[in-house]
C-alpha cells in the first residue's frame, strides 16, 4: 500500500472502499513505487490493488485478477508545464476522454 504521506487521497480511497465492504485494512508494508510492491508480492508478503491496465504485465509468480464487483472510480487530474506545446496536451486529453468513455464506471 502506498503510505499516506506518498498519496493520501489514494490511501483514503482504498481504506474507504474496504470499510464499505465490511473490513479494515491491516497494512504491514508501505511502498512508494510499484517495483517494490511487485517484489513484496513476488516474495509472498502481500497483495496490492493495481490499475486494470497492468493486467497485461507478465511478472514471474504474480497473478492479476479482476476485482468483482468493480471498485469505485477514483477521480484523476493531469499535471503539465504550460508551454507553447499545449496542442500535445490537448491531443492527449482528447484520447484520454475517448478511452474513459469506453468504461461504464468512468465519470
Q: How many whole angstroms separate alpha carbon 28 and alpha carbon 102?
A: 36
Can you tell me which residue has the cell 514471474? 60
Residue position matching grid coordinates 508494508: 29
Q: What does the pLDDT read at residue 48?
A: 81
- pTM (two decimals): 0.54
Q: What is the mean pLDDT of each run of 10 residues along the chain (107 residues)?
A: 71 82 82 83 83 79 79 70 72 80 62
At residue 105, the pLDDT reads 58
Query: What pLDDT score was predicted for residue 71?
Result: 66
- 100 and 106 Cβ atoms separated by less than 8 Å: yes
CB 38 within 8 A of CB 59: yes
**C-beta of residue 2 within 8 angstroms of C-beta of residue 31:** yes
> Would you state the pLDDT for residue 49?
78
Give whole-number Cα distances, 81 to 78, 84, 89, 91, in Å: 10, 10, 10, 15
Cell of 95: 484520447
List the beta strands (DSSP E) in the chain: none
Select from 77, 17, 90, 80 the least CA-distant residue to 49: 17
- In the prediction, which pLDDT does 72 show? 65
Amino acid at each position: 500500500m502506498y503510505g499516506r504521506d506518498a498519496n493520501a487521497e489514494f490511501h483514503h480511497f482504498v481504506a474507504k472502499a474496504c470499510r464499505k465492504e465490511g473490513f479494515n485494512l491491516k497494512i504491514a508494508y508501505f511502498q512508494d513505487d510499484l517495483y517494490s510492491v511487485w517484489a513484496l508480492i513476488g516474495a509472498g508478503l502481500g497483495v496490492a490493488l493495481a490499475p486494470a491496465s497492468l493486467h497485461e504485465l507478465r511478472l514471474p509468480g504474480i497473478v492479476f485478477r479482476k476485482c468483482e464487483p468493480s471498485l469505485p472510480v477514483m477521480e484523476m487530474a493531469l499535471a503539465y508545464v504550460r508551454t507553447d506545446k499545449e496542442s500535445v496536451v490537448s491531443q492527449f486529453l482528447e484520447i484520454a476522454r475517448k478511452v474513459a468513455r469506453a468504461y461504464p464506471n468512468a465519470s
